[in-house]
Copies of this chain bind each other. A is one copy, B any other.
Amino acid sequence: MTELKVVGKPFPRVDAQEKVTGEAIFGTDVKLPGMLVGKFLGSPHPHAEIVSIDTSEAEKLPGVHAVITAADLPQSDQYDPGSRAHAVLARDRVLFVGQPVAAVAAEDLSTAEEALARIRVEYRPLPAVLDPVEAMQPGSPVIQHGKAGTSAEMDIHTQQAAGVQTDEPGEGGNVVNHILFEQGDIEQAFAESDVIVERQVRMPMVHQGYIEPHAQTAAWDSKGNLTMWLSTQGQFVTQETLCEVLGLKASQVRVISTEIGGGFGGKASLFAPLTAVLARKAGRPVRLVLTRSEELQAANPAPMVVIDIKVGARKDGRITGIRAKVVMDTGAYPGAPMTVTTLMLGQPYKFTAMYIDGYEVLTNKPSVTAYRAPGGPNASAALEPCIDMLARKLGMDPLAFRQLNAAEEGDLQPHGRPHPRIGLKEVLEAIEPAWRALADKPKRANGRLRGRGVACGGWGGGRGPGSALVLLDPDGTFRLVTGTVDLTGSFTSLAQIAAEGLGVSLSQVRPHKGDTATGPWAPMSAGSQTTYGQGPAVLEAALDARRQVLEYAARELDADPDDLTLTDGRVYVTNDPSREISLSRLYLLTHGWDARYEPVVGRGAAPRRSEAPGYAASVAEVEVDPETGKVVVTYLATAQDVGQAINPLSVEGQIQGGTAQSIGMGLWEELVFDERGRLLNPNLLDYRQATAADLPMIDAILVNVPAGDGAFGLKIVGEPSIVPPIGAIANAIADAIGVYITDYPITAERIWRAMQDA
């Protein structure tokens, strides 16, 4: 293929109209005959024994069809209480406020709520621990004796850390995972350093902030087969979890994903088993949709983290060693991306030595899971201000300092494997004009303090296999069938890849989703792997369909397939376009009574890819009100190496979205718990997400360092853009006010206090 015709061109999403008109069916739109409303009762205690649960009054209420507790759950061998996904309802003990203890299925919501109010649970409160550093101390209440858990969601996001040496859990009974990356002699490195920066950074739990709460509907048949419709990032991974938790075989579980209003790593199957058990006991379909408050209290946010970090550099501008200790609060169940944060601290630069260890620690808070480049913004928030401070101490330009020290192909990563071809230097170069343009602006504007900051970082990303089908339709267009969940415009990008492979326009390819019964397997839409992993399978299916079409056309036109051109609606002899056959005619020749050939069925199945990390760099400008500490982000640009943008419009949108979330995490977002483990801001008035009004127009700069193994050289796209902006914002604020603030989010109050202290 020489010149790209469809790939690399901007297209609106093929499903844009359904989305904006409200016609698309999301999780909460699923309606089944006889469907009941599901609702669960959350624990009021952060840690307590369950002495007894009396559901008799709830069961007596007319309109209540099922009341379940842990006693109704299967006790299968598969059941792993060390994993939140497997802990459908609290058994014997509650471990965080809001943890589901019992659930009901009723005719309507008010009956369900009344039934919950009638459930009597007797608790015996236990000492709780909420801070991970405290939880590591000897004498801390021990939450549970579990092994390091794995969840399918997290696996996909943390593939990068695979192969890493994992020690036995370290300090304290609540440490479920300990990791250490050691290279070179760290003491020697610091001894040889001319400047050293050392600090402790704290970041709170934040929520993934998807618009649509968890919504799932379950129905059973008399054979004991389960069908679930839900808003999930992965149909096949949800099927897998349901099988594990409910002790079912894959052949008994059909998962049909609805449209999904965002997931960002947080939406797989969390409440699916609970809904399924309710439906089984009720003998009726049950739909369970979380309220926003339940989402914030009882879903699985991103972890809180405490990072002690020390980095050195020499006068010649070379970074030396890094020492860091990551303590990550995984809440009540294992599954935090601690290894990723640990790994990422050592990835972006040419460190001469490193000693980075991490602890995943249980606390009596909601358990956590992935959130877009999980652990990545944490690493950026800790590392990037240090890099900035070193540059300042050395009197170097922060961007030039990064360019000098940026990791490149062949440099060893913390786990000892060399970097593949990454575009870190290229994105730093791409962001340079933006950085320079901000250099000469006055440091004050309308009484506000102005600052600029730069940061960089990357993300390894998933790289699973894929499968796809491309079929010829009666009107001479093509169908693309995958089992992919479209979170971010993937269907449009995959259809572009198919169109490019076929040689036709995008309008000639329609993407369709099969489910776990009818669709070819697809990876979870997570870990930025969707287009990267599925793209080669889609391309293969398209080329396979094209080969079949050309073969049959060649026989009809008495020509060689190599001498033919496939284009919109027809095939013609390249050197004599008057010799042609329409694709709708070819359809007739491959289907039905007039068939001379077999139906066109393009098959694509592609193996796992090599890693294609995406690196990004951001430049931010902020204005700080010295009276109030209020920050306005006046400029933000993120440059990202995407290898080859399949659809620049959606890639830019992804970069803008990741950047916006990173800003929100940097400036405002925090799940605030009181001393009894209760969430103080379980609503979107008090939990402050970034809104369009808070943000400047974000410049997305696409850099193309092709991946050898991606379709058309594409790399992973979704996650890298959330990594650097938080560091760039922190550095810009420091540039404005002269202080590097160590606690995130960098709220107006913290800025004001820091300025008062300075």
Contact = CB atoms under 8 A, between A and B. Distances in A.
Interface of A: 17-18, 21, 23, 29, 31, 33, 155-156, 159, 162, 221-223, 236, 239-240, 243, 249-251, 462, 464-467, 469, 471, 473-475, 477, 479, 481, 510, 512-514, 517-521, 523, 537, 590-593, 595-601, 603-608
Most chain B C-beta atoms within 10 Å of own C-beta, residue among A156, A236, A599: A599
A682 B512 CA distance: 43
Nearest to A510: B251
A659 to B, nearest CB: 28
A526 to B, nearest CB: 11
A134 to B, nearest CB: 34
Contacts of A240: 474
Contact of A475 (B23, B243, B467): B243
Contacts of A475: 243, 249-251
B595 A605 contact: no
A596 B162 CA distance: 15
Contacts of A471: 520-521
A462 B600 CA distance: 20
Given A599-B466, A603-B603, A512 B518 contact: yes
A523 B465 contact: no
A4 B45 CA distance: 63
21 contacts: A17-B223, A18-B223, A31-B31, A236-B474, A243-B474, A251-B475, A251-B477, A464-B593, A464-B595, A465-B590, A465-B598, A465-B599, A467-B601, A469-B469, A469-B601, A471-B520, A481-B517, A514-B514, A518-B518, A595-B608, A596-B607
Nearest to A602: B603
Contacts of A239: 474
Contacts of A608: 595-596
Given A481-B518, A521-B591, A595-B608, 12 more contacts: A18-B222, A251-B473, A251-B510, A464-B592, A465-B595, A465-B597, A479-B517, A481-B514, A520-B599, A521-B601, A596-B607, A599-B605
A18 B599 CA distance: 31
Most chain B C-beta atoms within 10 Å of own C-beta, residue among A159, A222, A606: A222
Contacts of A464: 591-593, 595
Contacts of A21: 221-222
Given A596-B608, A599-B605, A608-B596, A17 B222 contact: yes
Given A17-B222, A465-B591, A601 B520 contact: yes
A362 B31 CA distance: 47
A477 B251 CA distance: 7
A597 B537 CA distance: 13
A493 to B, nearest CB: 19
A596 B155 CA distance: 16
B23 A469 contact: no
Contacts of A465: 590-592, 595, 597-599
Most chain B C-beta atoms within 10 Å of own C-beta, residue among A510, A518, A597: A518
A511 to B, nearest CB: 10
Given A467-B598, A473-B251, A598-B605, A518 B521 contact: no
Contact of A474 (B222, B250, B590, B595): B250
A226 B73 CA distance: 42
Contacts of A537: 598
Contact of A23 (B155, B221, B514): B221
A518 B523 contact: no
Contact of A599 (B222, B467, B510): B467
Contact of A159 (B23, B593, B597, B603): B593
A250 B605 contact: no
A248 B650 CA distance: 30
B601 A607 contact: no
Contacts of A221: 18, 21, 23
Nearest to A32: B31
A517 B523 contact: no
A92 B97 CA distance: 72
B590 A598 contact: no
Contacts of A156: 592-593
A534 B582 CA distance: 26
A205 B590 CA distance: 35
A143 B469 CA distance: 49
B518 A514 contact: yes
Contacts of A31: 31, 33
A518 to B, nearest CB: 4
A645 B118 CA distance: 61
Given A243-B475, A474-B240, A605 B601 contact: yes
A597 B249 CA distance: 23
Contacts of A249: 475, 477
A18 B221 CA distance: 8
Nearest to A234: B592
Contact of A250 (B17, B477, B595): B477
